[in-house]
Structure 1
Amino acid sequence: MTTLYRLLTEEDTSAFCHKVSKALARGWVLHGSPAYAFDAESGKMRCAQAVTKQVEADYAHEMKLGEQ
C-alpha cells in the first residue's frame, strides 16, 4: 500500500472548488487545512489544498497522480 500526495492549486474561483471536489470524488482525502495567498505576479488570490490517497501499487515517479 502506498500513500500518494498532491497539492491542488488554483486561482480563487469556483474552479478551485471543482478541482478539490473532483479529487474527493476519486477517493482522495483532504490533508491539512487549505491555504490562501496573494500571487503578486498575477495580482490574484490563489488557493491550495493538500490531498492524499492510498493505492495498491508501488510508487513510481512516472505516475500521473491526477489519474490515480
Structure 2
Amino acid sequence: MIAYRLITNDDTSEFCHRVTEAVSKGWTLYGSPSYAFDATKGVMRCAQAVTKDVPDQDYTPDVKLGAL
C-alpha cells in the first residue's frame, strides 16, 4: 500500500517539526507545500502532502496513518 497524509498547521516551527518527523520516519514529500491565509484566526496556514510505501500492509479505513 502507498499511504498518503496531508500535514497541516499554522505557519510555525511546529508545522516544520511535524513534517521533519514524518520524513525521518520514512515518509516522502509529495508535491510542494501550500500556504493560505486563515481569515478567522488571522494566521497563515501550511499544508504538506507526504506518502509512504508500506508493502506488507493492506489498506483499511481504520489504518492509523500517523503510526506507520
Question: Aligned partners of 1:17 and 1:52: how far apart in 2?
Answer: 16
Other-structure match for 1:3: 2
Matched residues in 1 for 2:6 and 2:40: separation? 20
Q: Which runs of 4+ in 1 moved over 2 A?
A: none
User: Please, what TM-score do these two structures have when normalized by structure 1?
Assistant: 0.96
1: CA distance, partners of 2:65 / 2:39: 28
Q: TM-score, normalised by structure 2?
A: 0.96
RMSD between aligned alpha carbons?
A: 0.5
1:34: Cα distance to partner?
0.3
Q: How many residues are aligned here? A: 67
Gaps of 5+ in 2: none
Secondary structure of the residue that 2:3 maps to in structure 1? strand
CA distance in 2, matches of 1:64, 1:49: 18
**Unpaired stretches in structure 1, ≥5 consecutive residues:** none
> Per-residue deviation at 1:41?
1.4
Identity of aligned residues (%): 58
Question: 1 CA distance for matches of 2:53 and 2:38?
Answer: 32
